[in-house]
Amino acid sequence: MAQVNPTVGSLAANAEKTLEWTEKALKAGADVVLFPELMITGYPPEDLVLKPAFVADNIACLKSLSKKIRGITAIVGFVDRKDAIYNAAALIHDGGVKDVYHKIYLPNYGVFDEERYFRPGSSALNFTLGGVTFGVGICEDIWFPDGPVRAQAAAGADVIVNLNASPYHAGKLVVREKMLRTRARTNDVVIAYNNMVGGQDELVFDGQGMVIDRSGKVVARGAPFAEELIVVDLKIGRKKPLKIIDGVRDVVLSPTLPSPARGEEIWNRSSRTAKKRALKIKEQRPINRHDEMLGALRLGTCDYVKKNGFKHAVVGLSGGIDSSLVAALAADALGGGNVTGVFMPSVFTSKESLEDAEALSKNLGIEFLTIPIRGVQEGYASALKPEFGGSHPGIAEENIQARIRGNILMSLSNKFGWLVLTTGNKSEMSVGYATLYGDMAGGFAVIKDVPKGLVYRLCARLNKRAGRRIIPKRVFTKAPTAELKFNQTDQDTLPPYDVLDAILKAYVEEDKSPGEIAALGFPLKTVRKVIRMVDGSEYKRRQAPPGIKISPRALGKDRRMPITNGYGK
């Protein structure tokens, strides 16, 4: 299984990567190599697939690739076009495409919109190579007990190969693994589940592919958040005679030699290498759940920055916990030398904030700039004086400060070509405790799906892993504040974060009603206030930068709420 990282739209580069990893598999002595779902286009290609030229180009890349593949059977995801377009897998063998499978189950919920694009396939595909029968499937196909796997197994499949672009969220691995083990046991088949790796806008594909034997045991496991060739030797004992099953076609392939150019040497490698590798991989355990989240945030940030052509990121540092986490993740993803932290004090900024931001920057090895905003603030006050007259300073004046900071970061971005990373967490983004065009200004919202409580836990984990206080101790202990007026703390406006996070999880992720949430043990008045804040800030979220999904329901393509919305009012 080639657990690789394609880029959406980079058709030629993705085909080239497919060839490169096919050759690695060939060298490792593999007979069959799997790629992820939609390997040629990347996932999700969204409305690109509505462009006829895009689909034609992806088919041309696949055809040209297939001519170069000999001596190994490769199964490669692409977009097929017949009477409609299909989410497809090409069976490449002996320099050509021998058959094409069309995904039957198309997900159209959560972050998925596959029914917008693709027609579902209507027949399953088995192929037989050297006496072993493989059933081909794509992602969602394997999630249904009554799906194609049952028919493929009945028709004699020994191994189900499943191509995936399965986005990460915390806890998903356990669900996947449980489902795959059940599917393998129930159908008496080996399952090779290969997943994409990489970041694409708000999604992160986590890899963590698996091979499960007939008994439901995981016999190999792909790395989390990294490209890897997962090589496994399978013992196949025929379980039952082949049957003819309606809707399952069987293609018989003859084993072929690699093209002379690659030579005997590769073909004749013993499978011992592969066995050794498989045994090694087998020992890889699922990782700590906080490390897994940090891995997702790191890869999501790294890929967004690099795949969009940036080399350097800039973060506004407040001395608080959110910007500390974002700066630490950026330094981890890009290297400290490619990150600039900017501290932008006003009259409301404390000395402690400066000290903490500076200490953090030093610990991370990132550039630290201080740009005071007081002069600009006075400029606005003077420009607006005729209109604001003697009005009491309030939200308008607070937001101006946040917007000055946003503008300064964007100016640095415009001048030096840096990407601005925003620092708002999921709790703030949910209730709209953030300034549109202010602290929400930037290209990528790294911790948009991380609730405040989890921000603290992830920071603690980073310090623990580093064996030192990268994020200064005081950042954990002081009261969270936006420092937009004197003696302000977040809790002037919001309930305590543990209460807020629990209410938000119930409302945003679980669609619970006010009554149901109150029944969990929160005052109905608080619940209603939080819900009002969430519903009333949809217009802000609509203009927020994308950020990395790590929860079952993130604030992005996952949750599509109307702005104009009278419900509950």
Closer residue to a second copy, CB minimum distance, 116 or 272: 116
* Cα–Cα distance, 91 to 109 (Å, whole number): 28
Select the residue interacting with a second copy from 16, 20, 50, 174 (CB under 8 A): 50
CB of 51 to a second copy, least distance (A): 5
CB crowding 433-445: b at 16 or more within 10 Å, else e: bbbbebbbbbbbb
Select the residue interacting with a second copy from 36, 44, 316, 345 (CB under 8 A): 44
Q: Does 302 bind a second copy (CB under 8 A)?
A: no
Contact 209, 219 (CB under 8 A): no
Q: Is 162 helix (H, G, I), strand (E, B) or coil?
A: strand
Taken in order 470, 476, 482, 486, the sign of the CA dihedral is negative
Closer residue to a second copy, CB minimum distance, 193 or 507: 507
> What are the structure tokens assigned to 324, written together?
């500390």
Contact 160, 137 (CB under 8 A): yes
CB of 415 to a second copy, least distance (A): 4
CB of 116 to a second copy, least distance (A): 6
CB of 104 to a second copy, least distance (A): 15
Residues 6 or more apart whose Cβ sits within 8 Å of residue 92: 65, 66, 69, 73, 74, 75, 76, 98
Select the residue interacting with a second copy from 319, 320, 345, 443 (CB under 8 A): 443
**Long-range CB contacts for residues 539-542, cutoff 8 Å, separation at least 24:** 539/436, 539/563, 540/432, 540/434, 540/436, 540/440, 541/429, 541/432
Closer residue to a second copy, CB minimum distance, 287 or 384: 384
Closer residue to a second copy, CB minimum distance, 279 or 396: 396
CB of 307 to a second copy, least distance (A): 5
529 given a catalytic annotation: no
* Cα–Cα distance, 307 to 57 (Å, whole number): 20
* Cα–Cα distance, 85 to 347 (Å, whole number): 59
Site for a second copy in 536-555 (CB under 8 A): 539, 542-546
CB of 230 to a second copy, least distance (A): 25
Select the residue interacting with a second copy from 368, 394, 463, 533 (CB under 8 A): 394
* Cα–Cα distance, 126 to 531 (Å, whole number): 51
Q: How far is CA 209 from CA 34, 140, 302, 336, in A?
A: 11, 15, 21, 31
The footprint of a second copy on this chain (CB under 8 A) covers a number of residues equal to: 87
CB of 119 to a second copy, least distance (A): 12
Position 6: which residue type? P
- Candidates 339, 343, 543, 561; CA nearest to 445 is 543
Q: Select which of 17, 103, 426, 549 is catalytic.
A: 103
Q: Is 33 helix (H, G, I), strand (E, B) or coil?
A: strand
Site for a second copy in 491-520 (CB under 8 A): 511, 513, 515-516
Site for a second copy in 63-122 (CB under 8 A): 108-109, 113, 115-116
CB atoms within 10 A of CB 345: 20
Q: Does 407 bind a second copy (CB under 8 A)?
A: yes
Select the residue interacting with a second copy from 10, 256, 338, 488 (CB under 8 A): 10
Residues 6 or more apart whose Cβ sits within 8 Å of residue 143: 105, 179
Select the residue interacting with a second copy from 70, 307, 312, 549 (CB under 8 A): 307
HSE at residue 461, side-chain half, CA atoms within 13 A, is 16
Classify residue 82 as exposed, middle or buried by CB count within 10 Å of its CB (0-12, 13-18, 19+).
exposed
Q: Is 194 helix (H, G, I), strand (E, B) or coil?
A: strand
61 given a catalytic annotation: no
Closer residue to a second copy, CB minimum distance, 133 or 346: 346
Select the residue interacting with a second copy from 40, 104, 173, 436 (CB under 8 A): 436
* Cα–Cα distance, 331 to 443 (Å, whole number): 17
Select the residue interacting with a second copy from 29, 45, 71, 207 (CB under 8 A): 45
Q: Is 499 helix (H, G, I), strand (E, B) or coil?
A: helix
Select the residue interacting with a second copy from 267, 368, 380, 476 (CB under 8 A): 380
> What are the structure tokens assigned to 371, written together?
């740009």
Select the residue interacting with a second copy from 2, 8, 76, 482 (CB under 8 A): 8
Q: Select which of 139, 426, 448, 459 is catalytic.
A: 139
Q: Select which of 23, 37, 140, 177 is catalytic.
A: 37
Select the residue interacting with a second copy from 25, 231, 317, 404 (CB under 8 A): 404
Reported in sequence order, the residue ranges of 169-306 that DSSP labels E, i.e. its strands, are: 190-195, 197-200, 203-206, 210-212, 218-221, 228-229, 248-253
Site for a second copy in 154-193 (CB under 8 A): none
Site for a second copy in 197-226 (CB under 8 A): 199-201
139 given a catalytic annotation: yes
Select the residue interacting with a second copy from 384, 474, 478, 532 (CB under 8 A): 384
Q: Does 145 bind a second copy (CB under 8 A)?
A: no
Q: Does 488 bind a second copy (CB under 8 A)?
A: no
Q: Does 308 bind a second copy (CB under 8 A)?
A: yes
Tell me the window of 120-128, 234-242, 346-354, 399-407 that interacts with a second copy (CB under 8 A).
399-407
Closer residue to a second copy, CB minimum distance, 9 or 147: 9
Q: Does 562 bind a second copy (CB under 8 A)?
A: yes
Residues annotated catalytic, as ranges: 37, 103, 139
